[in-house]
Structure 1
Amino acid sequence: MSDIKKSTDIQHTISIAGGEFADAENVLSTVISPNGQEIQINFNDVDEAMKYADDAAGIEIPPQEEKKLLRKIDCALLPIIAGLMSCNLMDKTTSSYAALMGLKTDLNMTAKDYTWVGSSFYLGYLVFQYPSTICLQKFPLSKALGTIVVLWGAILMLHAATSNAAGFIALRVILGAFESAMSPAYILLTSQWWKKEEQFMRSCIWVGIQGLGTLLGAGISYGLYTHRGVTGHAFESWRLLYIITGVITIVLGFISLIHVPDIPTKAWFLNSTEKKYVVARIRNNQQGFGNHHLKMKQVKEAFSDVASYILFFYGMSYAIPNGSFTNFGTILLHQDFGFTSAQSLLMSFVGGGIDVIFPPLVALICGRFLGNRRLLAAIIVNSIVFVGMCLLNFTHHKGSKLAGYFTFYMATAVLACVASVVSSNVAGSSKKTTVTTIYFIGYAVGNIIGPQTFTTAPYNGAKIAMLVSFAVGTGCLTSLYCIYMKRNNQRDAHKLAMGDKYEVPENIEFTDLTDKENPEFRYSL
Structure 2
Amino acid sequence: MPEDQAKSHDEANDHIENTHDISKTADAAVLSSVAEERSCLRRLDLWLLPFILFTYALQYTDKVILNGASQFGIVQDLHLYEIKGYDPKTHQPVQDLHRFSLATLIFYWGYLAGVLPAAFLAQKLLLGKFLSATVVLWGAVTMLTVMVSSYPGFMVQRFFLGVCESGAGPGLSLMIAMFWKRDEQPLRYAVWYVSNGIGGFVGPMLVYGIGHIHGGLRPWKYQYLILGAVTVAWGVLMVFILPDNPRSARFLKQRERDVAVARIQSEQLSEENKTVKLHQIVEALKDPKTWLTVMSTFCIHFVNGAVSGFGAIIVRSFGYGQFKSVLLTGCAGLYLLVMLIIAGIAGSYIRHSRTYIWCLVEAPVIVGAALIWNVSWTSERSAALAGFFLLSTFAPAYTMLLSLVGSNTGGYTKKVFMMGLVWSVYCISNGVAPLFVQTTEAAEQYPSMFKAVIVTASISVCCPLLMRVYLVRENKKRDQNSGLAFTHSNTAGDLTDKENLHFRYAL
Do both proteins adopt the same fold according to a TM-score greater than 0.5, normalized to the shorter chain? yes
Tell me the equivalent position of 2:23: none
Quote the residue 2:84 is aligned against: none
Alignment CA distance shift 1:89-1:313 (3 Å): same
Which residue of the partner structure matches residue 151 of structure 1? 137
Partner of 2:446: 459
| Pick aligned residue for 1:361 from 317, 342, 351 | 342
Aligned match of 2:255: 273
Deviates more, 1:434-443 or 1:126-135: 434-443
2:324 paired residue among 334, 339, 343: 343
- In structure 2, give the amino acid aligned to 1:340: G
Q: How far did residue 234 of structure 1 move?
A: 3.3
Q: Which residue, out of 170, 182, 185, partners 2:168?
A: 182
Aligned sequence identity (%): 29
Deviation for aligned residue 1:70: 1.0
Q: Label 1:339 to 1:417 Cα distance change in 2 as closer, same or farther (>3 A).
A: same
Q: 2:267·2:488 contact (CA, 8 Å) conserved in 1?
A: no
Shift, 1:275, TM fit = 1.1
Q: CA deviation at 1:364?
A: 2.2
Partner of 2:333: 352
In 1, the alpha carbon distance for the partners of 2:459 and 2:397 equals 13
Instruction: Assess if the C-alpha contact under 8 Å between 1:309 and 1:438 holds in 2.
Output: no
Distance 1:384 1:503 in 2: 36
> Would you say the 8 A contact 1:426–1:514 is kept in 2?
yes
- TM-superposed CA distance for 1:96, in Å, is 0.7
For residue 386 of structure 1, what is the aligned residue in structure 2? 366
Q: Does 1:373 align with 2:380?
A: no
Between 149-158 and 286-295, the greater mean CA deviation after superposition: 286-295
Q: Is 1:446 matched up with 2:429?
A: yes
Q: What residue in structure 1 maps to residue 400 of structure 2?
A: 417
Question: TM-score, length-normalised on structure 1?
Answer: 0.84
TM-score by length of 2: 0.87
Per the alignment, residue 219 of structure 1 pairs with 205
Q: Is the 8 A contact 1:212 1:352 kept in 2?
A: yes
Give the secondary-structure state (helix, strand or coil) at the position aligned to 2:70: helix
Cα separation, partners in 2 of 1:60 and 1:120, compared to 1, 3 Å: same
The SS at the match of 2:410 is coil
Distance 1:103 1:81, change over 3 A: same
Mapped partners of 1:194, 1:89: distance in 2:
24
SS in 1 for 2:450: helix
User: Do residues 297 (structure 1) and 279 (structure 2) align?
Assistant: yes
Deviation per CA, 1:183-223, whole angstroms, max 9, x where unpaired?
A: 11111001110111000000000112222112222111221
Q: CA deviation at 1:392?
A: 2.4
- C-alpha displacement of 1:414: 0.9
For residue 490 of structure 1, what is the aligned residue in structure 2?
477
Which residue pairs with 2:50 in the alignment?
79
Q: Distance in 2 between matches of 1:60 and 1:73?
A: 16
Choose from 178, 187, 202 the match for 1:201: 187
Q: Distance in 1 between matches of 2:320 and 2:78?
A: 24
2:106 to 106, 111, 120: 120
Q: Any conservation in 2 of the 1:383–1:474 contact (CA below 8 Å)? A: yes
- Does the 8 A contact of 1:123 with 1:444 survive in 2? yes
Measured against aligned partners, the alpha-carbon deviations of 1:82-136 in whole angstroms (never above 9, x if no partner) come to 0111012112211111111100111122122111111110111111211111100
How far has the Cα of 1:387 moved from its partner? 2.4
Q: Are 1:332 and 2:318 matched, yes or no? A: no
Runs of 4+ deviating beyond 6 Å: none
Q: Offset of 1:355 from its aligned partner?
A: 2.5
Residue 344 of structure 1 deviates from its aligned partner by: 0.6
Alignment check: 8 A CA contact 2:265 2:271 kept: no
Give the one of 460, 463, 473 matched to 1:476: 463
Matched position secondary structure for 1:510:
coil
Instruction: Check conservation: 2:301, 2:394, Cα contact below 8 A.
Output: no
What SS does the aligned partner of 2:135 have?
helix
Give per-residue Cα distances to partners, 1:143-167, cap 9 Å, x unaligned.
1111111111100100111101111
Please state how far the C-alpha of 1:64 moved relative to its aligned partner: 2.0
Say if 2:143 and 2:224, in contact at 8 Å, map to a contact too: yes
Contact 1:265 1:275 in 2 (8 A): yes
Out of 95, 101, 104, the residue aligned to residue 75 of structure 2 is 104
Distance (whole Å) between structure 2 residues aligned to residue 287 and residue 57 of structure 1: 17
Cα distance in structure 2, aligned partners of 1:465 and 1:483: 27
Is the Cα–Cα contact under 8 Å of residues 125 and 173 in structure 1 kept in the other structure?
yes
Note the C-alpha offset of 1:264.
0.3
DSSP 3-state at the match of 1:235: coil
The residue type paired with residue 315 of structure 1 is: T
**5+ long unaligned stretches in structure 2:** 1-26, 82-96
2:101–2:437 contact (8 Å) kept in structure 1: yes
- What amino acid is the match of 2:130? A
Question: In structure 2, the residue corresponding to 1:73 is in which secondary structure?
Answer: helix
Give the partner amino acid of 2:49. Answer: L
Equivalent position to 1:63, from 34, 40, 48: 34
Alignment of 1:188-267 (within 5 A): 188-225=174-211, 227-228=212-213, 233-267=215-249
Deviation string, structure 1 residues 371-416 (Cα, Å, up to 9, x no partner): 2521111111112322222222333432222212111112211111
Contact preservation (8 Å) 1:209, 1:355: no
Aligned pair in 2 of structure 1 residues 495, 352: CA closer, same or farther (>3 Å)?
same
**Could you tell me whether the CA contact under 8 Å between 1:373 and 1:524 is conserved in 2?**
no
3-state SS of the aligned residue for 2:494?
A: coil
- Answer yes or no: is the 8 Å Cα contact 2:268–2:489 preserved in 1: no
Displacement of 1:319 after TM fit? 2.1
2:107 maps to a residue whose letter is: F
Would you say the 8 A contact 1:287–1:510 is kept in 2?
no
Root mean square deviation of aligned Cα: 1.8
Is the Cα–Cα contact under 8 Å of residues 208 and 412 in structure 1 kept in the other structure? no
Equivalent residues of 1:57, 1:280 under 8 A apart: no
Contact 1:282 1:288 in 2 (8 A): yes
Question: Does the CA contact (< 8 Å) of 1:428 and 1:512 recur in 2?
Answer: yes
Unaligned runs of 5+ in 1: 1-55
Report what 2:8 is aligned to. Answer: none
CA distance in 2, matches of 1:391, 1:506: 52
**1:511 match: secondary structure:** coil
CA distances 1:420-452 after superposition (whole Å, capped 9, x unpaired): 112111111111122222212211111111111
| Residue type of the alignment partner of 2:194 | G
